Amino acid sequence: MIILVINCGSSSIKYQLLDMKSDDVYSLLAKGILERIGMPMSKLTHKPTGKDPLVLEMPVSDHKVGMKLVLDTLIDPVHGVIGSFADIDAVGHRIVQGAEYFSGSVIVDDDVIDKIRICCDYAPLHNPAHLLGIEAVSNVLPEITQVVTFDTAFHQTMEPAAYMYALPYEYYSKYRVRRYGAHGTSHLYVSHEGAAFAGIDINNSKIITCHIGNGSSVTAIKNGKSVDTSMGFTPLEGMIMGTRCGTMDPNVVTYLMKKEGLTPDQMTDIMNKKSGFLGMSEGVTSDCRDLVDRREAGDKRAKLILDKLVLDITKLVGGYIAEMNGVDLIVFTAGIAENNPWIRRDVCANFGYMGIEIDEEVNAKARRDNAIISTPASKVKVAMIPTDEELVIARDTMHLAEGRK
């Protein structure tokens, strides 16, 4: 079954075309990204498997035009990988926010679209773009089955004590202000993949997954179900990130708004786009690689930021060990945790008291492929598992589309 996986942003369309034989037997036919939609010059980077990559620069006015360009490129005689649109069996979309409406992937219909639209209120930057993506696909492929997979769905198993804020209850009743979490597709994937790789029965396990990338979150997973996660009402809550501040005393928000005369939108922008690595480095970088280079060159600010990164992860992992009354497996994933062995080592060093032991040599080499980085004597297994959110979307899309036939 050929599945097109789409991740639509406000000015971009990321895509992967996968040939799914089964959950575990599949091949990537092509992937790519169309960026700067709606700007004077857009850029398509298309990478067909086994062929030369293609980079196209041209104006693309909106998502409909963009989706047509992506689909046309997939069937292009030179750069394409399939013969015609009819070869695509179904399309799966990544959706950031599904709130309390969705605890799993579903086939798109009018009711689903209405609910995703209601959730735009909670994810104003993302959900409207996802809706544009669904509409753009319908425009070119009106008959195709479309499936939506939500970043929040995996965390719908959290109990009220984990998802409620200690605000007046009426704000939950009126507006559904609560913790939803994010990165659910990634936490789901790496917990299952990690458990299988470590020889642990997911249905009888306590796992902590650390997704540390540009956006970062840590999740506690008991018997395969998310019981707590560090992101909250929006992805701003939790630990330090590339440009997000993470958790802080909420009074800081109103204090700064008064002091600096900031509007709510300006403050939201500062906390989401101008804080974290970028803000603490005074605008130098939001990229962990630059911080590592600068720390190596003796830069004290870079060291402070990276120390805070390790401390924030440590506090979350420690809290979740207590919350689950134990842990069998800790998994590290995403851009930062997959590529920086020292983070995995430094976080785990803080749990030496409870018998976690890292194999320094294996850890230093672990990159790109699944790896167990703890020693055989370690009381808890620790793994590095590269995440693959697109694969989860493709699997769900395949199953739902098969069920429809």
Catalytic residue numbers, as ranges: 151
- Total residues contacting ligand ADP (rule CB under 6 A)? 12
Among 279, 335, 341, 386, binds ligand ADP (CB under 6 A): 335
Using alpha carbons only, give the angle 348, 351, 356 rounded to the nearest 5 degrees. Answer: 75
The residue to which tokens 């101008």 are assigned: 274
DSSP one-letter code for 321: H
* Nearer of residues 6 and 380 to ligand ADP, judged by Cβ: 6
Q: Is 288 in the site for ligand ADP (CB under 6 A)?
A: yes
Structure tokens, 98: 């599904």
Structure tokens, 21: 């034989």
Least distance in angstroms from the C-beta of 290 to ligand ADP = 7
* Nearer of residues 14 and 178 to ligand ADP, judged by Cβ: 14
Q: Which of residues 109-148 bind ligand ADP (CB under 6 A)?
A: none
If 0-12 CB within 10 Å is exposed, 13-18 middle and 19+ buried, where does residue 311 land? Answer: middle
* Nearer of residues 33 and 267 to ligand ADP, judged by Cβ: 33
Assign 112 to helix, strand or coil. helix
Kindly indicate which of the ranges 1-9, 169-177, 336-344, 378-386 contains the residues binding ligand ADP, using the contact rule CB under 6 A.
Answer: 336-344
Q: In whole angstroms, what is the distance from residue 371 CA to residue 365 CA?
A: 9
Among 105, 152, 340, 363, binds ligand ADP (CB under 6 A): 340
* Nearer of residues 380 and 384 to ligand ADP, judged by Cβ: 384
CA of 192: how far to CAs of 153, 204, 224, 265, 387, in Å?
16, 12, 7, 38, 11
Q: Is 214 in the site for ligand ADP (CB under 6 A)?
A: yes
Among 242, 246, 276, 341, binds ligand ADP (CB under 6 A): 242
Q: Is 106 in the site for ligand ADP (CB under 6 A)?
A: no
Q: Is 384 in the site for ligand ADP (CB under 6 A)?
A: no
Q: Which of residues 44-83 bind ligand ADP (CB under 6 A)?
A: none
Q: Is 388 in the site for ligand ADP (CB under 6 A)?
A: no
CA of 265: how far to CAs of 9, 124, 261, 326, 391, in Å?
20, 12, 12, 41, 35
Least distance in angstroms from the C-beta of 367 to ligand ADP = 8
Among 287, 299, 323, 388, binds ligand ADP (CB under 6 A): 287
Q: Is 339 in the site for ligand ADP (CB under 6 A)?
A: yes
* Nearer of residues 48 and 235 to ligand ADP, judged by Cβ: 235
Q: Are 337 and 343 in contact (CB under 8 A)?
A: yes
Q: Is 215 in the site for ligand ADP (CB under 6 A)?
A: yes
Among 21, 51, 117, 289, binds ligand ADP (CB under 6 A): 289
- CB-hemisphere CA count at 13 Å for 349? 10
* Nearer of residues 289 and 404 to ligand ADP, judged by Cβ: 289
Q: Is 213 in the site for ligand ADP (CB under 6 A)?
A: yes
Q: In whole angstroms, what is the distance from residue 195 CA to residue 84 CA?
A: 39
Q: In whole angstroms, what is the distance from residue 333 CA to residue 386 CA?
A: 5
Structure tokens, 172: 């939950």
Looking at beta carbons, which residue is closest to ligand ADP? Answer: 335
Instruction: Please give the order of strands across the beta sheet that includes 26-35.
Output: 54-58, 42-48, 26-35, 13-20, 2-8, 90-95, 145-150, 106-107
Among 4, 96, 321, 334, binds ligand ADP (CB under 6 A): 334
Least distance in angstroms from the C-beta of 358 to ligand ADP = 18
Q: Are 84 and 92 in contact (CB under 8 A)?
A: no
* Nearer of residues 176 and 308 to ligand ADP, judged by Cβ: 308
Q: Which residues contact ligand ADP (rule: CB under 6 A)? A: 213-215, 242, 287-289, 334-336, 339-340
